Amino acid sequence: MLLTLCICGAAALAFSTTELKMETAKPKNPILWADVPDVSIVRVGKAYYMASTTMHMSPGLPIMKSTDLVNWKLVSYAYETLGDNDALTLQNGKNAYGKGSWAPSLRYHKGTFYATTFSSTTGKTYIFTTKNPEKEPWKEVSFSPSFHDHSLFFDDDGRVYLVYGAGDIRLVELNEDLSGVKPGGTNKVIIRNATAVAGGQPGLPAEGSQLFKVRGKYYICNITWPRGGIRMELVHRADTIDGPYEGRVMFNDQGIAQGGIVDTPDGRWFSYLFRDTEAVGRIPWLVPMTWEDGWPVVGIDGKAPATLDLPGAKLGVSGIVASDEFSRRRGQRALPLAWQWNHNPDRDTWSLSARPGFLRLITGRVDSSVVEARNTLTQRTFGPVSSATTRLDAQGLKDGDVAGLVALMGRYGYVGVKRSGDEFSVVVVSAESGSPVEVESVRVGSSWVYLKIECDFRDGRDEATFFYSLDGKTWNAVGKPVKLRYDLTHFMGCRFGLFNYATKSAGGHADFDFYRVSTELSARP
């Protein structure tokens, strides 16, 4: 069925109508077929909150809410920008692709939410707090060093820790106010070579720590990836927080790993994990679990089920992506929460008021490619298929400017409008080979052009196909499909993005009339 989503208000995702096909039967794995990696979940009463990684995107450290572990909706971000160095602001030839902030930890303690992360780009550990993630801003505390893949933990005796590391898992005690490492506090290795319990040849050392206390015992969940094997989840347990710990493989199915455990109000337990799913990214799975002899036993006969015994899926990806007509009413957010900028935005070179009802992107400098451009506005793609459409007025472009719609990742592809003197051409550029190549250029007699990208993630196709139209009805395929490949260049699933960059002189602008997403591939020549 087609669900018409129209949500208004300060925390709304969609400011106008978007049409997305949603499931109404029993929910299926993955619970979100989109790039939502490194999840950390906490239950507060009957509600669940989830944090995830978005690396070099701003705002960052997204917070989602659910009442059933299936239907998730973005409610806030822990930070607007992580810092302002050259890498995070895409300046002086530097970038934060694949970096930024990683692997958050989400906790709730004595009425306060804590979202933590770390960054090799800034060399810091960050702790963000709020009483209400839906209505109040997050406050920041940061300190050095950057504790890799850490998990924040409040123990029953009032002491506060981070468990972190790779291979050797360490425990470090924090000051009571979380301002930094406690002088003279606990700081030690608590699990030596945590990878060993996986057997086989070492590959990816155990990392991605998440620490829990259940029925008086401490449990640390980790991911590892032995050579010649697949990603798997480990668990170690102890009677005291600093050990000694004993461990075993917690789950080993389809490479679904890295995450933790959560209970429901009625006493059921689930493990939340993610799976690498090629170009669409790392997508979250929910796997039922039980307890046997004090150990978490994950899966049904050791396997992740295709369907879940939980309330039906109603939101699907519509809780984390959104169409946008770029029209705003008083009191609404400038941008729906679904939007994130590629790196920190330049606040002086984008506007929703310069031309009401349009997103204006202005070039502030000269760049040589779309991955260098500032103020590229992005949203997640999603599976099994997804498309994005926009209408662009290119009249404000300067000679040499290119603006349009990109399937953004390390080996990207885009369809855009390029201005050469007084002429406009639809161009397709592919970086499938690793370097951008103009695949096709079609001269058009109008500055008004509709652009569309369709992404097909079924059965590993991972293709982006490009279209343009002059009337929004008759679509023309242009260029050739780009094979999308997930790699560590961006370390992120493919994103749709609206962009504008100058190749000769700054100051031109592109006006986008709308952005619309769909779960269907409808445009065919």
Per the CB < 8 A criterion, the answer to whether 254 and 227 are in contact is no
Q: What pLDDT is attached to residue 522?
A: 79
Tell me which amino acid residue 177 is.
Answer: D
Residue 504 and residue 447 share a domain: yes
Q: What percent of the chain has pLDDT over 90?
A: 91
Per the CB < 8 A criterion, the answer to whether 515 and 499 are in contact is no
Is pLDDT at 5 greater than 90 in this prediction?
A: no
Nearest C-alpha neighbor of 148 from the set 127, 170, 173, 181? 170
Q: Tell me the CA distances in angstroms from 380 to 56, 183, 299, 317, 340, one per residue in order.
A: 14, 42, 28, 9, 9
Residue 171 and residue 94 share a domain: yes
The answer as to whether 7 is a domain residue is: no
Task: Give per-residue pLDDT as tens, 283-342.
Answer: 999 999 999 999 999 999 999 999 999 988 899 999 999 999 999 998 899 999 999 999
> What is the domain-level CATH number for residue 429?
2.60.120.200
CA 144 to CA 428: how far, in whole Å? 44
| Cα 299 off chain centre by | 25
The answer as to whether 352 is a domain residue is: yes
**Number of structural domains found in the chain:** 2
Task: Give per-residue pLDDT as tens, 360-407.
Answer: 999 999 999 999 999 999 999 999 999 999 999 999 999 999 999 999
Residue 181 and residue 136 share a domain: yes
Place of tokens 């291979």: 167
The answer as to whether 293 is a domain residue is: yes
Residue 351 and residue 290 share a domain: no
- Please give the structure tokens belonging to residue 489: 């260049």
CA 447 to CA 96: how far, in whole Å? 34
Residue 301 and residue 350 share a domain: no
Q: Which domain holds residue 430?
A: 340-518
Contacts of residue 308, defined as CB under 8 A and 6 or more positions apart, other chains included, come to 26, 27, 28, 29, 31, 70, 286, 288
In DSSP terms, which residues pair with 148 in a beta bridge?
none
Higher per-residue confidence, 311 vs 119: 119
Q: What pLDDT is attached to residue 200?
A: 80
DSSP string, 276-332: E-GGG-EEEEEEEEEEETTEEEESBTTB--SB-SSSPP-SGGGGT---B-----TTS
Residue 274 and residue 404 share a domain: no
- Please give the structure tokens belonging to residue 263: 């209970």
Residue 347 and residue 297 share a domain: no
> Cβ–Cβ contacts within 10 Å for residue 352, how many?
16
> Mean of the pLDDT values across residues 236-243?
98
Tell me which amino acid residue 186 is.
Answer: T
CA 522 to CA 524: how far, in whole Å? 6
CA 273 to CA 258: how far, in whole Å? 5
The answer as to whether 141 is a domain residue is: yes
CA 72 to CA 65: how far, in whole Å? 5
Residue 254 and residue 383 share a domain: no
The answer as to whether 111 is a domain residue is: yes
Task: Give per-residue pLDDT as tens, 182-207.
Answer: 999 999 999 999 999 999 878 899 99
The answer as to whether 66 is a domain residue is: yes
The answer as to whether 22 is a domain residue is: no
Is pLDDT at 456 greater than 90 in this prediction?
A: yes
Residue 251 and residue 375 share a domain: no
CA 271 to CA 468: how far, in whole Å? 44
Q: What pLDDT is attached to residue 202?
A: 81
Task: Give per-residue pLDDT as tens, 68-112.
Answer: 999 999 999 999 999 999 999 999 999 999 999 999 999 999 999
DSSP string, 382-451: -SSEEEEEEEEE-TTPPTT-EEEEEEESTT-EEEEEEEETTEEEEEEEE-TTSS-EEEEEEEES-SEEEE
Residue 442 and residue 368 share a domain: yes
> What is the domain-level CATH number for residue 220?
2.115.10.20
Q: If DSSP codes are grouped into helix, strand and coil, which group holds residue 200?
A: coil
The beta strand positions in 59-149, using DSSP E, are 60-66, 73-79, 102-109, 112-119, 124-130, 139-143
Is pLDDT at 240 greater than 80 in this prediction?
A: yes
Residue 301 and residue 193 share a domain: yes
Q: How many CA atoms, within 13 angstroms, populate the side-chain half-sphere of residue 5?
A: 26
Task: Give per-residue pLDDT as tens, 163-178.
Answer: 999 999 999 999 999 9
Residue 205 and residue 82 share a domain: yes
Task: Give per-residue pLDDT as tens, 401-421.
Answer: 999 999 999 999 999 999 999
CA 47 to CA 37: how far, in whole Å? 20
Task: Give per-residue pLDDT as tens, 245-254.
Answer: 999 999 999 9
The answer as to whether 432 is a domain residue is: yes
Reported confidence tier of residue 10, pLDDT bands at 50, 70, 90: very low
Reported confidence tier of residue 14, pLDDT bands at 50, 70, 90: very low
Is pLDDT at 523 greater than 80 in this prediction?
A: no
Q: What pLDDT is attached to residue 525?
A: 42
Average pLDDT, the chain: 94
Cis geometry, peptide bond prior to residue 59 (ω within 30 degrees of 0): yes
